[in-house]
Amino acid sequence: MSEPTIDRVTYWRTQIRRTAILLGVWFVVGFVLSIFLAEPLNSFSFGGVPFGFWMAQQGSIFVFVSLILIYTLASNQLDREAGVEEAEGSTSSAGQGH
């Protein structure tokens, strides 16, 4: 563990703000672009496929996986700044019982 460079209030404020932003992106991609605006977006083509259809079937999945990666990397960095990162061997490995 390292020495914290931010306090607890700042940690949670940052974490909640980040989560809200990522959920906002998820809502826009998952509902607005893939459902509500699918018909207008179908007038565009992406790789020969109507863009609204592509967003609902492929694009939203790419965005969701990217959101998970962004959340993980940003949270790990914030954990290090707050001094609450997981130390090696502090968690059980896959397949181990608790």
Where are the domains positioned within the chain?
A: 27-80
- Residue 1's pLDDT band, with cuts at 50, 70 and 90, is low
The CA distances from residue 62 to 29, 31, 35, 46, 83, in Å, are 10, 15, 16, 14, 31
- Residue range 26-39, pLDDT digits in tens: 999 999 999 999 99
pLDDT of the residue at 98: 60
Q: What is the pLDDT of residues 4-29, one digit of tens each?
A: 888 899 999 999 999 999 999 999 99
pLDDT, tens digit (0-9, with 9 covering 90-100), for 52-72: 999 999 999 999 999 999 999
